[in-house]
Amino acid sequence: MELQRNKIAMVSPLHNAYSESFIQEQKNGLQGEVFYYYGGNLPSHLENYGKLISRSIAIINKIKRKLKLTHYNTAETAFMQSLKQHKIQIVLAQYGTTANRIVKFCKHVNIPLITHFHGYDASVHHIIESCNNYREVFAYSTYVIAVSVSMKNRLIGLGCPKDKVVYNPCVANPLFLEIKPQFTEPVFLALGRFVEKKAPYYTILAFSKVLDKYPQAKLVMGGKGELFEVCVNLVKYLRIENNVLLPGVLTKEQFSSYLATSLAFVQHSITALTGDQEGTPVAVIEASAAGLPVIATYHAGIPDVIINGETGLLVDEHDVEAMAEKMMQLIENKELAMQLGRNGKERVKNNFTLDNHLRVIDELIVAVITEN
């Protein structure tokens, strides 16, 4: 079966969230015709087509429900009708929570499902429980994609058959490989949502210790989130506003510019009290692809990408002192920073390319469609 004939429904809660650039890479890079559904775990819109619910669908479904000819509500009916109208051959659900919401509709219209987990959906305790430990998702999905080794093991532990789980890590856009860091200034760069599992306050606390010895150093932390104001206040309390920049959400161009002028990328990821964990942070891979050494934690999929002492420096979760020491180590040894960066770029080039990632999903899709 030729790839370009495949009709794929990609279902994701959001449309173009800045923190989900990786999903957009899949949408634009997979072979076949991709129909992008979005607007919640049960999608309300189809990209380039608009709202799924039309006046006629709403009226007809209302009549059917009154006559007890269907138990599906209008939104559910509209989604299933859209899948049939566009002759969808397979559904790729972004996030286990999305798959949990739509699995019964895929079963009803007899369309196979591939479920792609990302991070919180495979780790937050109350979410997993609310999805009944994904029993129906695991049972119906032909394949389940995990983006880290630890996530793969976690999904198997939840009850997903081992032969269904496919490890396929996140990757960086090839454009990041073209960046050539200058290593001219003692600038540390961070990028990501300001949420508990990324513990941005730990990064700030570690950097504040660096300033005791190297007052000329700077930290740039891009992104927004629920902890953003907390971090702004922490910077003010520590009186390091001149050294810590919090520019908010960065465009890909702005991020690339900072990568070219920074000394290292830093991220102090931790397991939140809710159980929330990273998958494999895309920004970490992008920084490594650019040729920057990464200072991070032994957390989730980070050690799959960053090899301690070879492509970056890793510390234990919550060890602020150790992270500060690693930052100072690179300030004091620029040659080490450059060597770690070169190694990281080479590792990403050989193991974490977009072509390889998309090829794995394309092959899964072809296998499933061929079987059906």
Residue by residue, DSSP assigns 187-213 as EEEEES--SGGG-HHHHHHHHHHHHHH
Q: pLDDT tens across 299-342, in order?
A: 999 999 999 999 999 999 999 999 999 999 999 999 999 999 99
Give every CB contact of residue 228 below 8 A, 6+ residues apart in sequence.
194, 246, 248
| pLDDT value at residue 367 | 95
Domain segments of the chain as ranges: 3-170+353-371, 174-351
Which CATH number applies to 174-351? 3.40.50.2000
Higher per-residue pLDDT: 6 or 16:
6
* Same topology between domain 3-170+353-371 and domain 174-351: yes
Task: State the average pLDDT over residues 255-280.
Answer: 95
Q: Which of 77, 103, 88, 95 is nearest to 35 (CA)?
A: 88
User: Residue 58 in contact with residue 66, Cβ under 8 Å?
Assistant: no
Entry pTM:
0.89
pLDDT for the residue numbered 17: 61
The span from the CA of 260 to the CA of 198, in Å, is 23
Cβ atoms of 95 and 12 closer than 8 Å:
yes
CA–CA separation, 337 vs 332, rounded Å? Answer: 9
Sign of CA dihedral 353, 345, 286, 267: positive
Question: Which tokens sit at 177?
Answer: 């490989």
Which SS3 state, helix, strand or coil, does residue 56 take? helix
H/E stretch holding 359 reads: helix 354-371
Which residues are within 8 A (CB) of 88 and not within 5 positions of it... i.e. 6 or more apart? 7, 8, 9, 35, 111
Average pLDDT, the chain: 94
Average pLDDT over residues 110-133: 96
CA distances from 332 to 182, 185, 247, 337 (A): 16, 12, 27, 9
CATH of 3-170+353-371, one of 3.40.50.720, 3.90.1150.10, 3.40.50.2000, 3.40.50.1980: 3.40.50.2000
Q: What confidence tier does 18 reach under pLDDT thresholds 50, 70, 90?
A: low
34/44 Cα distance (integer angstroms): 17
Q: What is the pLDDT of residues 237-247, one digit of tens each?
A: 999 999 999 99
Give CA–CA dist 259/178, Å, rounded.
Answer: 11
pLDDT class for 3, splitting at 50, 70, 90?
A: very low
- Phi and psi dihedrals of 255, rounded to 5? -60, -45
Q: What pLDDT, on the 0 to 100 scale, is given for residue 81?
A: 96
pLDDT at position 318 is 98
Q: Which helix (H) or strand (E) holds 35?
A: strand 33-38
Q: Helices (H), strands (E): how many in the chain?
A: 15, 14
Neighbours of 224 (CB within 10 A): 17
Total residues found in the chain within this entry: 372
